[in-house]
Amino acid sequence: MKLDVGCGPKCLPGFVGVDRFPLPGVQVVADLDKPLPFEDDSIELVHAAHSLEHVSDLMFTMRELYRVCKHKAQICIVVPYYEQKLNLANPYHLQVFNEHTPRFWSSCSWAPIDKKEYYHPHAVTWGLSQSDNSNPGLEIRLLRMEFFYFPRFSKMDPSCRIELRQHLTDVCHQIAYHLVVWKEDNEADYVALTENLGSYPFLDTPALQKSRVDAEAHEEEKFSTISYAENVLGEKLKEQRDYVAECERKLLRNEKLIGLLMSGPDLSDSDLKRFDEYLIANYSSHEPRDYRISRDIPSDGYVEYQVGGTGECNSVSVCVYLSADTQDAQLGVELVGKDNNVVWNSVEMLSGVSIVGVVNFSIGKKFKQEDIGFIRFFGRNLSVGVKVVECSIASRWPLRATKLVPYVCFSNED
Protein backbone atom coordinates (compact mmCIF):
# COMPACT_ATOMS: atom_id res chain seq x y z
CA MET A 1 0.00 0.00 0.00
CA LYS A 2 1.13 3.54 -0.81
CA LEU A 3 -0.02 6.59 1.18
CA ASP A 4 -0.30 10.23 0.13
CA VAL A 5 -0.41 11.86 3.57
CA GLY A 6 -2.09 15.26 3.73
CA CYS A 7 -2.90 15.01 0.04
CA GLY A 8 -5.72 17.58 -0.05
CA PRO A 9 -7.81 17.36 -3.24
CA LYS A 10 -4.82 16.21 -5.39
CA CYS A 11 -3.94 12.67 -4.36
CA LEU A 12 -1.19 11.04 -6.42
CA PRO A 13 -2.45 8.30 -8.78
CA GLY A 14 -2.15 4.82 -7.27
CA PHE A 15 -1.88 6.17 -3.73
CA VAL A 16 -4.36 6.04 -0.86
CA GLY A 17 -5.21 9.64 -0.04
CA VAL A 18 -5.08 10.55 3.66
CA ASP A 19 -6.28 13.92 4.95
CA ARG A 20 -8.17 15.30 7.93
CA PHE A 21 -10.82 16.76 5.60
CA PRO A 22 -13.11 14.65 3.34
CA LEU A 23 -11.97 16.31 0.12
CA PRO A 24 -12.23 14.82 -3.39
CA GLY A 25 -9.64 12.06 -3.75
CA VAL A 26 -9.33 11.52 0.01
CA GLN A 27 -10.00 7.87 0.85
CA VAL A 28 -9.06 7.87 4.53
CA VAL A 29 -9.98 10.76 6.81
CA ALA A 30 -7.40 10.87 9.60
CA ASP A 31 -5.78 13.40 11.89
CA LEU A 32 -1.98 13.27 11.67
CA ASP A 33 -1.78 14.25 15.34
CA LYS A 34 -3.45 10.95 16.25
CA PRO A 35 -2.58 7.28 15.60
CA LEU A 36 -2.91 6.38 11.93
CA PRO A 37 -5.64 3.84 11.06
CA PHE A 38 -3.24 1.37 9.42
CA GLU A 39 -1.68 -1.91 10.52
CA ASP A 40 1.96 -2.19 11.54
CA ASP A 41 4.39 -2.87 8.66
CA SER A 42 1.69 -2.45 6.01
CA ILE A 43 2.94 0.51 3.94
CA GLU A 44 5.66 0.41 1.27
CA LEU A 45 5.72 4.07 0.15
CA VAL A 46 4.69 7.36 1.79
CA HIS A 47 4.39 10.76 0.14
CA ALA A 48 3.86 13.86 2.29
CA ALA A 49 3.96 17.18 0.46
CA HIS A 50 3.36 20.41 2.40
CA SER A 51 1.48 18.68 5.18
CA LEU A 52 3.88 17.83 8.01
CA GLU A 53 4.63 21.47 8.78
CA HIS A 54 1.07 21.68 10.16
CA VAL A 55 1.24 18.85 12.72
CA SER A 56 1.46 19.63 16.44
CA ASP A 57 3.98 16.93 17.41
CA LEU A 58 6.31 16.04 14.55
CA MET A 59 8.11 13.23 16.40
CA PHE A 60 4.78 11.56 17.20
CA THR A 61 3.73 11.71 13.54
CA MET A 62 7.11 10.37 12.37
CA ARG A 63 6.86 7.50 14.85
CA GLU A 64 3.42 6.66 13.46
CA LEU A 65 4.77 6.65 9.90
CA TYR A 66 7.63 4.44 11.07
CA ARG A 67 5.16 2.05 12.74
CA VAL A 68 2.93 1.54 9.72
CA CYS A 69 5.80 1.29 7.22
CA LYS A 70 7.56 -1.90 6.21
CA HIS A 71 11.31 -2.33 6.51
CA LYS A 72 12.94 -0.44 3.61
CA ALA A 73 9.74 1.49 2.86
CA GLN A 74 10.41 4.79 1.12
CA ILE A 75 9.20 8.10 2.58
CA CYS A 76 9.26 11.25 0.47
CA ILE A 77 8.66 14.48 2.40
CA VAL A 78 8.37 17.88 0.72
CA VAL A 79 8.06 20.88 3.03
CA PRO A 80 8.78 24.63 3.18
CA TYR A 81 12.39 25.42 4.05
CA TYR A 82 12.24 27.07 7.45
CA GLU A 83 14.64 29.99 7.01
CA GLN A 84 12.43 32.21 4.86
CA LYS A 85 10.55 35.19 6.20
CA LEU A 86 7.14 34.23 4.84
CA ASN A 87 7.42 30.81 6.46
CA LEU A 88 8.57 32.30 9.76
CA ALA A 89 5.54 34.59 9.78
CA ASN A 90 3.04 31.83 8.92
CA PRO A 91 1.14 30.92 12.15
CA TYR A 92 -0.06 27.66 10.59
CA HIS A 93 3.46 26.33 10.05
CA LEU A 94 4.27 24.74 13.40
CA GLN A 95 7.40 22.71 12.62
CA VAL A 96 10.97 23.48 11.58
CA PHE A 97 12.34 21.83 8.44
CA ASN A 98 15.87 22.42 7.23
CA GLU A 99 19.00 20.37 6.52
CA HIS A 100 19.21 19.27 10.17
CA THR A 101 15.64 18.05 10.72
CA PRO A 102 16.07 14.44 9.44
CA ARG A 103 19.17 14.05 11.63
CA PHE A 104 16.79 13.68 14.59
CA TRP A 105 15.03 10.70 13.00
CA SER A 106 18.12 8.50 12.87
CA SER A 107 20.97 7.34 15.09
CA CYS A 108 23.16 6.33 12.14
CA SER A 109 26.44 8.27 12.28
CA TRP A 110 26.55 8.98 8.54
CA ALA A 111 24.35 9.69 5.54
CA PRO A 112 25.12 9.33 1.81
CA ILE A 113 25.25 13.09 1.16
CA ASP A 114 27.96 15.74 1.14
CA LYS A 115 28.83 16.70 4.73
CA LYS A 116 29.02 20.35 3.66
CA GLU A 117 25.24 20.30 3.22
CA TYR A 118 24.64 19.85 6.96
CA TYR A 119 27.92 20.84 8.62
CA HIS A 120 27.62 22.23 12.13
CA PRO A 121 30.62 22.63 14.48
CA HIS A 122 28.64 21.29 17.46
CA ALA A 123 27.23 18.23 15.68
CA VAL A 124 29.66 16.68 13.23
CA THR A 125 28.22 13.18 12.82
CA TRP A 126 24.87 12.74 11.08
CA GLY A 127 22.41 10.96 13.39
CA LEU A 128 21.15 12.97 16.39
CA SER A 129 18.04 11.03 17.42
CA GLN A 130 19.65 9.99 20.70
CA SER A 131 21.39 13.31 21.37
CA ASP A 132 19.38 13.95 24.56
CA ASN A 133 19.79 10.34 25.78
CA SER A 134 16.25 9.57 24.66
CA ASN A 135 14.75 6.58 22.88
CA PRO A 136 13.05 8.14 19.84
CA GLY A 137 11.32 4.92 18.80
CA LEU A 138 12.16 5.23 15.11
CA GLU A 139 14.99 4.80 12.62
CA ILE A 140 14.33 6.66 9.38
CA ARG A 141 17.45 7.21 7.31
CA LEU A 142 18.16 9.82 4.67
CA LEU A 143 19.03 8.75 1.13
CA ARG A 144 18.85 12.09 -0.64
CA MET A 145 18.14 15.70 0.30
CA GLU A 146 17.07 18.20 -2.34
CA PHE A 147 17.02 21.97 -1.94
CA PHE A 148 14.84 24.27 -4.02
CA TYR A 149 16.31 27.75 -4.19
CA PHE A 150 14.58 30.99 -4.98
CA PRO A 151 15.13 31.70 -8.70
CA ARG A 152 17.63 34.48 -8.04
CA PHE A 153 19.97 31.99 -6.36
CA SER A 154 19.31 28.88 -8.43
CA LYS A 155 22.21 29.38 -10.85
CA MET A 156 24.86 30.41 -8.38
CA ASP A 157 27.93 28.30 -7.68
CA PRO A 158 26.81 25.36 -5.46
CA SER A 159 29.38 26.03 -2.73
CA CYS A 160 28.32 29.68 -2.62
CA ARG A 161 24.65 28.67 -2.38
CA ILE A 162 25.39 26.39 0.57
CA GLU A 163 27.07 29.20 2.50
CA LEU A 164 24.27 31.65 1.70
CA ARG A 165 21.59 29.13 2.65
CA GLN A 166 23.25 28.39 5.98
CA HIS A 167 23.73 32.04 6.94
CA LEU A 168 20.89 34.04 5.35
CA THR A 169 17.11 33.91 5.04
CA ASP A 170 15.10 33.83 1.80
CA VAL A 171 17.68 31.81 -0.14
CA CYS A 172 15.91 28.44 -0.21
CA HIS A 173 12.11 28.04 -0.25
CA GLN A 174 11.54 24.28 -0.23
CA ILE A 175 13.31 21.10 0.81
CA ALA A 176 12.65 17.47 -0.08
CA TYR A 177 13.78 14.47 1.97
CA HIS A 178 14.00 11.05 0.37
CA LEU A 179 14.14 8.58 3.25
CA VAL A 180 14.12 4.87 3.94
CA VAL A 181 12.56 3.13 6.96
CA TRP A 182 15.12 0.89 8.64
CA LYS A 183 13.81 -1.75 11.05
CA GLU A 184 16.39 -4.54 10.79
CA ASP A 185 19.84 -4.56 12.35
CA ASN A 186 21.74 -5.08 9.09
CA GLU A 187 24.21 -2.29 8.43
CA ALA A 188 25.86 -4.10 5.52
CA ASP A 189 22.51 -4.11 3.72
CA TYR A 190 22.18 -0.36 4.28
CA VAL A 191 25.69 0.28 2.96
CA ALA A 192 24.90 -1.77 -0.14
CA LEU A 193 21.71 0.23 -0.64
CA THR A 194 23.53 3.57 -0.44
CA GLU A 195 26.18 2.37 -2.87
CA ASN A 196 23.53 1.77 -5.53
CA LEU A 197 21.42 4.91 -5.25
CA GLY A 198 21.77 5.47 -8.99
CA SER A 199 19.31 2.65 -9.56
CA TYR A 200 17.10 3.37 -6.54
CA PRO A 201 13.43 4.09 -7.49
CA PHE A 202 13.14 7.53 -5.90
CA LEU A 203 9.61 8.92 -5.95
CA ASP A 204 9.63 11.85 -8.36
CA THR A 205 6.30 13.66 -8.45
CA PRO A 206 5.08 16.13 -11.09
CA ALA A 207 5.29 18.91 -8.50
CA LEU A 208 8.98 18.19 -7.83
CA GLN A 209 9.70 18.01 -11.55
CA LYS A 210 8.00 21.36 -12.12
CA SER A 211 10.02 22.96 -9.30
CA ARG A 212 13.24 21.84 -10.99
CA VAL A 213 12.11 23.02 -14.42
CA ASP A 214 11.11 26.42 -13.05
CA ALA A 215 14.54 26.84 -11.47
CA GLU A 216 16.36 25.88 -14.68
CA ALA A 217 14.16 28.13 -16.84
CA HIS A 218 14.81 31.24 -14.76
CA GLU A 219 16.82 33.92 -16.55
CA GLU A 220 18.86 36.40 -14.59
CA GLU A 221 17.51 39.92 -14.48
CA LYS A 222 19.65 43.02 -14.46
CA PHE A 223 20.13 44.56 -11.04
CA SER A 224 18.46 41.55 -9.44
CA THR A 225 19.21 40.01 -6.09
CA ILE A 226 21.41 37.44 -7.84
CA SER A 227 23.68 40.26 -9.00
CA TYR A 228 23.73 41.67 -5.51
CA ALA A 229 24.51 38.28 -4.01
CA GLU A 230 27.27 37.52 -6.49
CA ASN A 231 28.88 40.94 -6.28
CA VAL A 232 28.45 42.00 -2.67
CA LEU A 233 27.91 38.77 -0.78
CA GLY A 234 30.35 36.97 -3.04
CA GLU A 235 33.04 39.47 -2.09
CA LYS A 236 32.20 39.05 1.58
CA LEU A 237 32.40 35.29 1.26
CA LYS A 238 35.77 35.61 -0.45
CA GLU A 239 36.95 37.89 2.35
CA GLN A 240 35.73 35.33 4.86
CA ARG A 241 37.55 32.50 3.09
CA ASP A 242 40.70 34.62 2.84
CA TYR A 243 40.43 35.44 6.54
CA VAL A 244 40.04 31.77 7.45
CA ALA A 245 43.01 30.88 5.23
CA GLU A 246 45.09 33.60 6.89
CA CYS A 247 44.10 32.31 10.35
CA GLU A 248 45.16 28.82 9.29
CA ARG A 249 48.51 30.18 8.08
CA LYS A 250 49.01 32.04 11.37
CA LEU A 251 48.12 28.92 13.32
CA LEU A 252 50.67 26.88 11.36
CA ARG A 253 53.26 29.61 11.87
CA ASN A 254 52.59 29.71 15.61
CA GLU A 255 52.79 25.92 15.83
CA LYS A 256 56.15 26.02 14.03
CA LEU A 257 57.39 28.74 16.37
CA ILE A 258 56.25 26.84 19.48
CA GLY A 259 57.93 23.71 18.15
CA LEU A 260 61.11 25.70 17.49
CA LEU A 261 61.21 27.16 21.00
CA MET A 262 60.39 23.86 22.70
CA SER A 263 62.38 21.30 20.73
CA GLY A 264 64.34 23.03 17.98
CA PRO A 265 63.89 24.01 14.33
CA ASP A 266 61.91 21.76 12.00
CA LEU A 267 64.70 21.06 9.50
CA SER A 268 65.79 18.06 7.48
CA ASP A 269 67.85 15.43 9.28
CA SER A 270 70.89 16.29 7.15
CA ASP A 271 70.69 20.00 8.02
CA LEU A 272 70.22 19.29 11.73
CA LYS A 273 73.20 16.93 11.75
CA ARG A 274 75.36 19.45 9.86
CA PHE A 275 74.53 22.36 12.20
CA ASP A 276 74.79 20.38 15.43
CA GLU A 277 78.08 18.74 14.53
CA TYR A 278 79.55 22.13 13.65
CA LEU A 279 78.45 23.76 16.92
CA ILE A 280 79.57 20.83 19.07
CA ALA A 281 83.00 20.71 17.38
CA ASN A 282 83.72 24.45 17.34
CA TYR A 283 82.38 25.42 20.76
CA SER A 284 83.56 22.32 22.69
CA SER A 285 79.97 21.92 23.75
CA HIS A 286 77.20 19.46 24.33
CA GLU A 287 74.29 19.35 21.86
CA PRO A 288 72.54 22.72 21.31
CA ARG A 289 69.48 23.38 23.47
CA ASP A 290 67.05 26.12 24.57
CA TYR A 291 66.31 27.56 21.13
CA ARG A 292 65.05 31.11 20.72
CA ILE A 293 64.86 33.79 18.04
CA SER A 294 66.61 37.14 17.74
CA ARG A 295 65.00 40.52 17.43
CA ASP A 296 63.85 41.45 13.92
CA ILE A 297 66.70 42.15 11.53
CA PRO A 298 66.35 45.92 10.88
CA SER A 299 66.04 47.37 7.39
CA ASP A 300 68.68 50.02 8.16
CA GLY A 301 71.05 48.07 10.36
CA TYR A 302 72.18 44.58 11.25
CA VAL A 303 72.23 41.87 13.89
CA GLU A 304 75.77 40.90 14.90
CA TYR A 305 77.23 37.82 16.57
CA GLN A 306 80.73 36.89 17.66
CA VAL A 307 81.98 33.65 16.11
CA GLY A 308 84.87 31.43 17.07
CA GLY A 309 85.28 28.48 14.71
CA THR A 310 88.46 26.98 13.30
CA GLY A 311 89.50 25.62 9.93
CA GLU A 312 88.91 26.68 6.35
CA CYS A 313 85.44 27.45 5.02
CA ASN A 314 83.93 28.52 1.72
CA SER A 315 80.22 28.59 2.64
CA VAL A 316 78.02 29.63 5.51
CA SER A 317 74.45 28.63 6.39
CA VAL A 318 72.04 30.23 8.84
CA CYS A 319 68.65 29.14 10.18
CA VAL A 320 66.01 31.90 10.17
CA TYR A 321 62.37 32.39 11.16
CA LEU A 322 59.96 34.44 9.00
CA SER A 323 56.89 36.07 10.54
CA ALA A 324 55.06 35.90 7.17
CA ASP A 325 55.55 34.59 3.64
CA THR A 326 57.59 36.78 1.33
CA GLN A 327 58.66 36.89 -2.31
CA ASP A 328 60.87 39.99 -2.38
CA ALA A 329 62.71 40.04 0.95
CA GLN A 330 66.44 39.35 0.95
CA LEU A 331 68.84 38.31 3.69
CA GLY A 332 72.38 39.61 3.64
CA VAL A 333 75.44 38.37 5.51
CA GLU A 334 78.78 40.05 6.27
CA LEU A 335 81.89 38.37 7.60
CA VAL A 336 83.88 40.82 9.72
CA GLY A 337 87.55 40.30 10.47
CA LYS A 338 89.04 40.71 13.91
CA ASP A 339 90.27 44.14 12.79
CA ASN A 340 86.57 45.09 12.38
CA ASN A 341 86.78 45.30 8.58
CA VAL A 342 84.22 43.56 6.35
CA VAL A 343 86.07 40.82 4.47
CA TRP A 344 83.10 39.39 2.55
CA ASN A 345 79.37 39.89 2.05
CA SER A 346 76.52 38.44 0.03
CA VAL A 347 72.73 38.57 -0.32
CA GLU A 348 70.21 35.75 -0.91
CA MET A 349 66.46 35.72 -1.54
CA LEU A 350 64.17 34.49 1.26
CA SER A 351 61.39 33.26 -1.03
CA GLY A 352 62.54 29.67 -0.56
CA VAL A 353 62.03 29.77 3.21
CA SER A 354 58.67 28.67 4.62
CA ILE A 355 58.38 29.88 8.24
CA VAL A 356 61.58 28.18 9.47
CA GLY A 357 64.37 27.33 7.07
CA VAL A 358 68.02 27.47 6.12
CA VAL A 359 69.62 30.15 3.92
CA ASN A 360 72.88 29.05 2.31
CA PHE A 361 75.61 31.46 1.17
CA SER A 362 78.51 30.42 -1.05
CA ILE A 363 81.61 32.46 -0.22
CA GLY A 364 83.42 31.53 -3.42
CA LYS A 365 86.86 31.50 -1.87
CA LYS A 366 88.25 29.95 1.25
CA PHE A 367 88.58 31.79 4.55
CA LYS A 368 90.20 30.73 7.73
CA GLN A 369 87.58 30.89 10.44
CA GLU A 370 90.26 31.99 12.88
CA ASP A 371 90.44 35.28 10.93
CA ILE A 372 86.70 35.96 11.30
CA GLY A 373 85.59 37.76 14.44
CA PHE A 374 81.94 38.53 13.77
CA ILE A 375 79.08 37.64 11.47
CA ARG A 376 76.41 40.20 10.67
CA PHE A 377 72.97 39.74 9.19
CA PHE A 378 71.11 42.52 7.41
CA GLY A 379 68.03 42.73 5.21
CA ARG A 380 66.71 44.26 2.02
CA ASN A 381 63.07 44.76 1.03
CA LEU A 382 62.04 43.52 4.45
CA SER A 383 58.24 43.71 4.40
CA VAL A 384 58.07 40.89 6.98
CA GLY A 385 59.88 40.16 10.21
CA VAL A 386 63.06 38.11 9.77
CA LYS A 387 64.77 36.66 12.84
CA VAL A 388 67.91 34.59 13.29
CA VAL A 389 67.42 31.34 15.19
CA GLU A 390 69.63 31.20 18.28
CA CYS A 391 70.51 28.40 20.67
CA SER A 392 72.20 27.88 24.00
CA ILE A 393 75.25 25.63 24.12
CA ALA A 394 76.72 24.23 27.30
CA SER A 395 80.48 23.66 27.46
CA ARG A 396 81.84 20.19 28.09
CA TRP A 397 84.24 21.82 30.54
CA PRO A 398 82.85 22.29 34.06
CA LEU A 399 82.15 25.73 35.51
CA ARG A 400 82.09 27.39 32.08
CA ALA A 401 79.02 29.50 31.33
CA THR A 402 76.39 28.58 28.77
CA LYS A 403 76.64 30.60 25.55
CA LEU A 404 73.89 31.97 23.32
CA VAL A 405 75.04 31.64 19.71
CA PRO A 406 73.40 31.90 16.28
CA TYR A 407 72.31 28.64 14.69
CA VAL A 408 74.97 29.05 12.01
CA CYS A 409 77.20 26.55 10.27
CA PHE A 410 80.46 27.25 8.40
CA SER A 411 81.57 24.50 6.04
CA ASN A 412 84.23 23.70 3.50
CA GLU A 413 82.60 22.31 0.36
CA ASP A 414 84.85 21.04 -2.42
Query: In this predicted model, what pLDDT tens digit does every residue of 156-176 receive, in sequence order?
Result: 888 999 999 999 999 999 999
Mean pLDDT over 224-249 rounds to 77
Instruction: Report whether pLDDT(302) > 70.
Output: yes
Which whole number is the average pLDDT over 50-78? 97
Q: How confident is residue 52, by pLDDT bands cut at 50, 70 and 90?
A: very high
* CB burial readout 14-49, b (16+ within 10 A) else e: ebbbbbeeeeeebebebebeeebebeeeebebbbbb
Question: Stretch 349-364: mean pLDDT, rounded?
Answer: 89
CA distance 362 to 350: 15
The pLDDT value recorded for residue 223 is 44
Residue type present at position 155 = K
- Residue 218's pLDDT band, with cuts at 50, 70 and 90, is low
**pLDDT for residue 82 is more than 50:** yes
In the chain, the amino acid numbered 243 is: Y
For the ranges 73-87, 141-155, 207-221, the lowest mean pLDDT is seen at: 207-221
What confidence tens digit (pLDDT) does each residue in 259-291 have? 888 888 888 999 999 988 888 888 766 667 788
* pLDDT band of 221, cuts 50, 70, 90: very low
pLDDT at 338 over 80: yes
Q: Bridge partners of 71?
A: none
pLDDT tier at 85 (50, 70, 90 boundaries)? very high
Mean pLDDT over the full length of the chain: 89
CA distances from 366 to 160, 337, 412 (A): 60, 14, 8
Task: Say which range, 2-11, 65-74, 186-195, 388-397, has the weakest mean pLDDT.
Answer: 388-397
Which pLDDT value is given to residue 216?
74
Q: Is the pLDDT of residue 238 over 70?
A: yes
| pLDDT over 90 (residue 113) | yes
Q: What is the pTM of this model?
A: 0.55
Quote the pLDDT of residue 287: 65
Q: Taking the chain, what is the end-to-end CA distance rounded to the nearest angstrom?
A: 87
The answer to whether 173 and 154 have CB atoms below 8 angstroms apart is: no
Is the pLDDT confidence value at 336 over 80?
yes
Average pLDDT over residues 199-218: 88
Q: Which class in CATH covers the domain with range 269-411?
A: mainly beta
Residue 397 has pLDDT above 70, yes or no: no
Q: What is the pLDDT of residue 213?
A: 85
Residues 6+ apart with CB under 8 A from 1: 16, 38, 42, 43, 44
397 vs 200 pLDDT, higher one: 200
Q: For residue 286, what pLDDT is reported?
A: 60
pLDDT value for 23 = 94
Q: Which residues contact 116 (CB under 8 A, 6 or more apart)?
A: 159, 162
pLDDT at 10: 92
The residue ranking higher by pLDDT, 267 or 217, is: 267
Confirm if 311 and 356 have CB atoms less than 8 A apart. Answer: no
Q: What pLDDT score was predicted for residue 344?
A: 92
Give the relative orientation of helices 234-263 and 158-167 as an angle to the nearest 10 degrees. Answer: 90
pLDDT value, residue 153:
86
pLDDT reported for residue 395: 64
Q: What is the mean pLDDT of residues 191-218?
A: 90
Tell me which architecture the domain covering 2-219 has in CATH: 3-Layer(aba) Sandwich (3.40)
Taken in order 92, 146, 119, 168, is the CA torsion positive or negative?
Answer: negative
